[in-house]
Amino acid sequence: MTRSDGVRVPLGGTIGILGGGQLGRMSAMAAARLGFRTHVFAPEADSPGMQVATSHTVAAYDDVAALHRFADAVDIVTFEFENVPAATLEALEGRATCRPGIRALSICQDRLAEKRFLEEAGVRVAPWREVRTESDLHAALAEIGLPAVLKTTRMGYDGRGQAVIREPGDAAPAFARLAPKPLILEAFVPFAAEISAIAARGVTGEVAVYDAIENRHRHHILDLSFAPARLSAEASALARDNAARVAEALDLVGVVALEMFLLPDGSVLGNEIAPRPHNSGHWTMDACLCGQFEQHVRAVAGLPLGNPARHADAVMRNLVGPEGLEAWPGLVAQRGVVAHWYGKEEARTGRKLGHANRLLPLGSLRELSDTEALGGL
Ligand code: AMP
């Protein structure tokens, strides 16, 4: 039994959310619908999450006194990002039940721990080596071969902290750019598609898994998700099974996303875990009976999980600054599109401002070209 087992948030009780971004905002909105209050803790005033939460604290993540007051004011604490500083977790330890727990967060903060964890959970991953020195890198390249990807083990997201090594001469500059941070070298995966699957696990250990999704990126940021991914039945089952394994092996209470590579031969490799609602799951809000945010709230509050079944096919487009702001009036006017805006003040380049879900009849996506599936998105 983990320490968090058993706690239930009563109707009208308060879910504390660490982080003020759009994931916390959409979790808070789902929580309100189920009769819970939310308290968002983040350093930025007027954050997207604070705009919709019942209450909030504006304080730094290492403000121990503020964290103690926050922990005392809520029934449970959840996180909308996994790179929660160790000092924050220490301040919460023993004062609040955290879902996900500290172990799940720490695995997902470190690519080496994450790779080892995936292998132990029975999820195949690309060959990888730990790299601390330049000679480690040369030894790893000799074993793994070219091309390969060198990554920082911590704080990398949306393609940051990465370098592709295509030829031997790329190795030294890549190392110089990313060192002295701890690094990992991975084989470059010649993927046919990038896919993901989202699983939820409740306090009793029940697991609910959404259909696998195909994801397309632009400038390293998620651009489109196609739900369901147009995969063979075997690959789709494997992707979903991998996500469920991860939720179980993490002993998670909450939602977890597993990003994967689909290989041309139909096999699947795990890449990255996010122990929280995920951008590639935004389509579930409108195309499933219970979307990922409601599912996350249900799990952390100790409610039974909702039904993840899809009642429509969907394409999700991320609205990224500055173009997303220009696209908004057209999207919000479209029938068949459900548009979501996050309330961010500045439409800076690369910033996720909102998303739009185009709903399609169940089972129709497989027959459509990408252009047809996108329609006016
Ligand atoms: P990550 O931060 O690990 O999610 O990587 C960001 C993006 O870089 C992924 O979505 C892929 O498009 C690409 N990428 C990461 N690792 C690899 C790899 N080992 N092989 C090929 N592409 C990769």
pLDDT in tens, 259-309: 999 999 999 999 999 999 999 999 999 999 999 999 999 999 999 999 999
- Provide the 8-state DSSP code for 232: -
Residue 152 Cα, ligand 1 centroid: separation in angstroms? 12
Superfamily for 127-187? ATP-grasp fold, A domain (3.30.1490.20)
- Provide the 8-state DSSP code for 260: E
Q: How confident is the model at residue 376 (pLDDT cuts 50, 70, 90)?
A: confident
- What is the number of the ligand 1 atom nearest to the C-alpha of 126? 19
Q: Span 16-41, mean pLDDT?
A: 98
- Provide the 8-state DSSP code for 376: T
Q: Does the C-beta of 144 come closer than 6 Å to ligand 1?
A: no
Q: Does pLDDT of 2 surpass 50?
A: no
Q: Does the C-beta of 223 come closer than 6 Å to ligand 1?
A: no
Q: How many CB atoms lie within 10 A of CB 55?
A: 15
Residue 159 Cα, ligand 1 centroid: separation in angstroms? 7
Question: Under a CB-based contact definition with an 8 Å cutoff, are residues 185 and 142 in contact?
Answer: no
Q: Does the C-beta of 259 come closer than 6 Å to ligand 1?
A: yes
Can you give the length of the chain in residues? Answer: 377
3.40.50.20, 3.40.190.10, 3.30.505.10, 3.40.50.1110: CATH of 14-98 = 3.40.50.20
Q: Closest Cα partner for 368 from 64, 349, 359?
A: 359
Residue 15 Cα, ligand 1 centroid: separation in angstroms? 33
Q: How confident is the model at residue 5 (pLDDT cuts 50, 70, 90)?
A: low
Residue 222 Cα, ligand 1 centroid: separation in angstroms? 12
What share of the chain in percent tops pLDDT 90? 95
Lowest mean pLDDT among 81-95, 146-160, 223-237, 261-275: 146-160
> Is the domain defined by 193-374 classed in CATH 3.40.50.300?
no
Q: Does pLDDT of 4 surpass 90?
A: no
What share of the chain in percent tops pLDDT 70? 98
Alpha carbons within 13 angstroms on the beta-carbon side of residue 38 total 28
Q: Does the C-beta of 188 come closer than 6 Å to ligand 1?
A: yes
Q: How confident is the model at residue 6 (pLDDT cuts 50, 70, 90)?
A: confident
Q: Does the C-beta of 126 come closer than 6 Å to ligand 1?
A: yes
**Pocket-testing residue among 114, 144, 162, ligand 1, by greatest number of atoms within 8 A of Cβ:** 162
Q: What is the pLDDT of residue 317?
A: 98
Spatial distance between the Cα atoms of 180 and 182, rounded to a whole number of angstroms = 6
Q: What is the pLDDT of residue 155?
A: 83
pLDDT in tens, 140-199: 999 999 999 999 999 876 667 999 999 999 999 999 999 999 999 999 999 999 999 999
Question: Under a CB-based contact definition with an 8 Å cutoff, are residues 196 and 274 in contact?
Answer: no
Domain boundaries, the chain: 14-98, 127-187, 193-374
